[in-house]
Structure 1
Amino acid sequence: MTPASRTKEFFTLIENEELSKVKEENNLVYYSYKGVMFPYIKCISCSSFIGDQRGGNKTRHMKKVCMKGSDNVLPDFTEDITKLCLDTGCSFNFLTSDDFKSFVTGIVKKCRSYVDPDKITFPSAHIIKNKITEEYGNVINDIGAKIRPKILNGEANLVIDFGKYFHDYLSAFIVTIDDENATPKLRIFPFAFKSTTATKTSENKFGLSEKEILSMTLVSDGAKNLEKAANLYFGGCEHFSNERLKCSCHLIQKISERVMDPLKSLRTSFDSNELLLLKECSDCLDKAAHLAHVVHNRKNSLALPRLPHLYVATRWQSAVRCGRDIIQLIPSLVTAADSKVNSLALKLYHEDLATLTTVVSILEKFEPLLLLFEKSSSTIHLFLPKMNALLKHFENLELTSTNESITQVLAKSARIHLTHYLDKSISSIHAAATFLYPKTKRMMKLDKNYRDMAMDTIKTMLNELEPISPTTVSGDDLDYLDDYADPQPVDEIDQYLQDFVSPTELDDPILYWAKNSSRYPNMSRVARKVFSIISSESVCERSFSIVKKIVTSDRSSLKPQTVEKLMIIFFYRHELL
C-alpha cells in the first residue's frame, strides 16, 4: 500500500468512526479496528501513518524519516482547520471547499516543494464537526469542574439576557472568583447560549441540579426577561431562592431615557409648562438624530473630519453621543455643499442648538456610569455611592438653576426618575458591597436606611457561616502570655470599622479581602460571595455581537445546538472580561 492510499484509508476509517484509539506511547498512537489492533499507527510529530509490525520500521521512522521530512510525511490539518472554524466563524462548507483546499495546498507546496498535492488529505465537514463535539465535551468538563465547587459554596452567580440572531437565544454566564493563579480575580464562564425553542428544562450538562442553579443570585435587565427565563427553564420566578439584581446599565439607560419622557405615574409631578419644555428637548434630540442619519446617507458628497454617531433605539445613550457629535460637527455641516444637509443644519443651528447643548450637558452625566458598570469587573460596591452622588448633583442643579429654565426642568426630571428607580432597584447586596469596600465602609453620605440594610445583610450572611477564629501576628515578645489567657471573642465588624484605611489602600475589594483573610476569616468569606456578583449583564449583550462573527450569514442554517457548542467553546477560549 502506498503512503497516499494508506493516508486516505486511515482518514476514511476515522471519518466513519470505525477506529478506536487504544493508547499513546513513544510519540505514536495505536488504534483498534472492530476490536482488533489496527495494523497501522500514527506518528504524533509528523502525522504520518506507518505499519505496526516487526522489523524496525518504527525506529527507522522516528530516527530518520520523521526528522528528515520525507515526501510521504504530510501534516494533519484537522486540528488547525477546526481551530480556524472555532476562532473565525468560517463555515464547514468553506473549510471543505476546493478553493480552501487549493489555498492550503499552495502554501504547503511553497514550504515543501516535493509534496504531491494528491497525497494531502483534508478533514471532511463530518470530521470537523466531530472534533468540535469532542472539544465541546472537554470544555464542558473543564467549566463544570471549576464552577461546581463555587456554586455549592455560594460564590457563583448567574447573568442572563435574551437576544435574537436567526433564532431567539438565552445567553447565560456564571461569574465567580478564580484563585487558580495565586492572585484571586473575577472570572466569567459561559453557561448557556440556548435557543428558546429548545428543551424547556434547565440543562444538567455541568452536573448541576436545578436547585443548585436556582440558588445563585441572578442579574438580568428587568422583570420581563427574568420571568421569561424562569418560565422557560425553571417553572416560574418563585423558584429562584436568592436575591435578583437588575442590570445597572439597563437601569441607567432607562433613567436617562425617562428624563425627557416621564413615566405616566410621575407626570403629575410636572406642570403643563414643564411637560412642554421636556417635549421640546425630546424633539430637539430627534432632529439631531435625523440630521445624523441624513449625513450618513450622503457621506460621499460631504467632506467631514468624521461621521456622527447614529441613534440606536435600544441604546438611549447613543442619542446623547449623536447629539454631542452634531454639536461638534455643526460648523462643517452648515457650510456643507449638500443642500439637504445644509438646510437641516442651518435650521438646527438657528433654532435648536442652545437647547441641544443643554440637553446633552445634562444627559451626558449618565455616560461615565454607563461605561463604568458595563465592564465585566467588580464594580457592585460603587453602584450605590455613584448613583447617590449623581442624585445629589441633580438636586443641587435643580436648586441653583434659573426658575423654569430648561436646565432646571431637566434636572428636576432626572432627580425624580433617579429617586423612583433607585428606590425600586437598590438591593441589600448593593448596600453590603458598599460596606465591604474599605473606602466607603462608613457610608457617611448615604441615608441611614442603607447603612442599616448593609449591617443586617452582613450579620445575616455571617450567621449562615460556620465561624472561623481569626489569626493574628505580632512582634511583641510578651504575646506568648496570651496563650494562657481566656480567649476573647473578636467582633470582626467592629474591628473592620475601627481599622484605619490608607488612601493607598487596594482599590480592588477582591484583592483587599484576600490580603486580609487571616484577620477577617468570616467577613472575607462573605466578601467573596458579594464581590463575585457583577453589576450588569453587558457580557451577555457582547455575546450577541460575537455570535454575528461566529455564526455568519452563510451558516444561518446551523442547528441551535451546534450554535451553542460553537459559542460556548469560543467564550471559554476567549475570556470576556
Structure 2
Amino acid sequence: MGRTRNTAIQPRKPRQPRQPKKPYLNISIERVQDLLDGTDVDNLKIFPTNDDMQKIEIEKDGILMSTGYKRCSLCFAILRATGGHTGRHFELCQLRQQDNQLLCQQIIPSKSDMKSYIATFIIKTGLSISLCENSALREMLTNVILRGQSDDGTISSIFPGRTAVREEIVSQLDFYKQEIKDALTYHVNTSMVNVVVDFGKISHDFISIKVSLIVDIDRGDGTWFWQLSIVPIGMFVYKEESKSAKDINECLKNSFSSYGWEPEKAGNSYFTADAARNMQCTGSRYFQGYIRCLAHFSNTLARRIFTPYANSMMTPNQKNILSKLLEIINQSIKLAGLIKNNQNAKRRIQKIEIMKYLDENKVYLKLIEECLEPINKMCTFSQKDEIITNFVIPFYALTVEHFSKLAKSSDEIRAKVGLSAQEVLRVNSDIISPEHCLAFYLDPRRNAKNQAILDDHNMNIDLYQQSLIALQTISTNLQLDQPVAIQSNIANLDSMDIIARATTPEEQPPETTQEEFSKYILQRNSVDLTVFWPANKNTYPKLYKVARKVFSILVSEATSERAFSNAKFLYRPNRENLETSFLENLLLAYEAEKSTACFINPPI
C-alpha cells in the first residue's frame, strides 16, 4: 500500500525577530588608514572574515560601528567591504606572494633569457606606474624634452641622449631615484636584487617619454644587467634586438595570458617599441633616420590610434596636433619638389654621396611600404566621417609614395630627397609636444569591438568580390546568342507547383551553364524569388551561388539598400559583356527591390 499524504494544514513557524542593522560610520579610506597607522587603536577593532580578509570596525559608546572597509591579510591593502573584488584581490595577492618567493631564486641560464625574465618580473610583481611617478616627475621630464626640442642642432640634440643634458638633470633626479628604488625593492628580495636607477637615457620617439632603469641581479658567479623603462603613461620592456612594436606586444600578451593577468590591469599599461636610436643619425644618414622613424611612427600610429579611435570624438587640442603633423607632410612634399626642380643641386651633391644613398636606402624604402600596408587598409575600410584617418594617413601615404617614386627615378633624386627630409626635421623640430602622449594614447578595451566591426565590413566586401568572380566565369561560358524566353503555361502556375516540379526526383539538373540558364528563363517571371531560390539550389547550382550572395545582406533596411547599390556598381563593368536582361535576371535586383526590402540570410 502506498503512503497516504497528510493534507492537514501545518501550523506556521513563528517568525524570528529581525536583527537590528549594525550602525554604519561614514568615514573615508584616508581616515581609516590614519587610524591604522596611529598609536591610539583602542577603539579600532579588526576581525577575521571567511574570505581571508580582515573586517575593520570602530567601537563607539560600546557599540561596534561598521566602516565599510576590509583589509587584506597579506599586503594589508584597504578595500571596500562590498563586492567580489575582495576575493579576487586576495587570490591575486596570494599568487603574487608565492611567485615573489621564487622569482629572485630563479637561475637565468643565459643572457638571451633576459627579456622573458623582465616580463615575468613586471607581471608577477604587479608593479604599477603610480608607485614610480608623480606630477612633479612628469613635469620635470616634460621640461627636459621641450628644452631639447628648442635646440636648433642635430637630431641628437633635438632628442636628448645620454650625454646631451645629463649634467643638467642629474641634480633633479636624486629625489625620484630613492622613491623608485623603494617601489621596486618592495616586491623583491633585497638580499639578492640590487636596484640601480639610471635616468641617463631620456628620449622622445613621437609616442612616449621614457626613463630607463637598470636592475642589477647578482647570482653569485657574476652580475647580469636588465634594462627596464618607465613612461609617464605606463611601463614596457625594452627589447634590444627588435624595433618592432608588434614583437614586444606579442611577447607581453603571451606573458599576460600565461600568468592569468587581469585584463583591467593590463589595459592601464602602455607598451611601445624604442625608436630613439632611429632618431640619432648624423651626416649622410639623415634620410635613413627619417624613413625608419616614419615607418615606426606609421606602424605604431595605425595600431594605437586608428583602431581604438574609430568612433571617438577628437578634442580641439588633438585636432591642432594633427594639423601640425599635416603641415610637416605638405612642407616635405614642397621641399622635395623644389629640390627636384633646382638645377644647382647637382653641383652640391657629390657622386659618392649619391651612391651611398642608393645602397643604403633600398631596405628602408621597402620597409616603409610594408609598414604602410595596414594603414592603407585602414583607410579603405574606415568610415567616411572619421576625421583622424582621412585627415592624416592619406597624406602620409602620399608622402611615402612621392619619395619612393623620386628615389626610384634616378640616383641623384634619391640624394635630393634625403636633403629634403633633413630640412623637414630641422624646421619642424618644435612641433612635437607632450600632448602627443594624450592624442596617441591606446585604449585596449576597444580593440575587440572595432575588430569585429572591421571583420564584418571585410566579410561583405569579400562576398561582393566572390560574386563578381562568379559572374565573370558565367559570362565567359555563355554564348553570344541568348535564347528567347518561351511563353508557356508554366507562367500561370503558382509558386508551390513550380517548387514541387523543380524538386521532383526524376528531373535531373542541367549539365552545362547554357542549359541551366535556358531552363531558368522559363521560370523566372512566375515565382517569388525569395521562395524560388531556396527550393531550386540543386537545379541551378551555378546561378544559386550568385543569388545567395545577393540576397544574404545583413542588418537594416538602409543597409540593404546600400548593399543593392553596391552590387549594381560592382557589376557595372560586366554590362558590356552581358545582356541587360540577363544581368537583371541573374542579380535579381529589380525584382528583389519590389518584392522584399531586406531578405536576411535565407535558410538555404
**Whose relative contact order is higher, 1 or 2, with alpha carbons under 8 Å and at least 6 apart?**
1
Tell me which structure has the larger Cα radius of gyration.
2
TM-score normalised by the chain length of structure 2: 0.20
